[in-house]
């Protein structure tokens, strides 16, 4: 189900103002990984600012964003040198096409049932090349609260084998 905040064209237009790059320290975790990967998929890409920044930083390989919400995706499509797909990863049908799949912000929290999570992780494994990585973050209430009062974030980088390569608390 698509959140109306991301589907509505007006709300999509103000999304980046609500979440400016200066407040997005998660990009500092993802950008170095994106810049060293040939093919990158951003799941739940929203308005596409992470992939836009990666292209501006010199990424010359394949960058692809997928999001189920047309409002934010239409804003992302202002860059024609990045692939934009309306939909969800489970339906996309990619096979061994990406070195890195990222899922930033709180997009991972949209997977609420065990079945959704199993189907999503199977699609991640299917879309990654052998040895590829999946990097994501989600709020973890057991990490305490940050200065804003929101639960702290945990960024994780997982290898295709399922072993945790790195976990970083913010």
- Tell me which residues of the chain have a pLDDT lower than 70: 1-7, 139-170
pLDDT at 53: 96
Position 164 scores a pLDDT of: 44
Amino acid 68: pLDDT: 92
User: Is residue 30 a contact partner of residue 50, using CB atoms and an 8 Å limit?
Assistant: yes
Buried b (16+ CB within 10 A) or exposed e, 118-151: ebbbebbeebbbeebbbbbbbeeeeeeeeeeeee
pLDDT of residue 115: 92
Q: pLDDT tens across 88-135, in order?
A: 999 999 999 999 999 987 788 788 888 998 999 999 999 999 999 999
Predicted local distance difference test score (pLDDT) of residue 1 = 55
């Amino acid at each position: 189900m698509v959140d109306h905040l991301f589907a509505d064209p007006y709300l999509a237009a103000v999304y980046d103002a609500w979440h400016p790059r200066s407040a997005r320290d998660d990009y500092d975790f993802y950008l170095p990984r994106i810049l060293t990967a040939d093919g990158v998929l951003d799941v739940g890409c929203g308005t596409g600012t992470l992939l836009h920044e990666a292209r501006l930083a010199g990424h010359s390989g394949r960058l692809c964003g997928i999001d189920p919400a047309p409002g934010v995706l239409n804003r992302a499509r202002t860059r024609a040198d990045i692939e934009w797909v309306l939909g969800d990863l489970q339906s996309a049908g990619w096979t061994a096409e990406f070195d890195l799949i990222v899922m930033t912000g709180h997009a991972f929290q949209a997977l609420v049932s065990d079945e959704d999570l199993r189907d999503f992780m199977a699609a991640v494994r299917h879309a990654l090349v052998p040895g590829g990585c999946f990097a994501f973050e989600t709020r973890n209430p057991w990490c305490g609260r940050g200065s804003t009062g929101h639960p702290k974030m945990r960024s994780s980088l997982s290898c295709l084998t399922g072993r945790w390569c790195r976990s970083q608390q913010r």
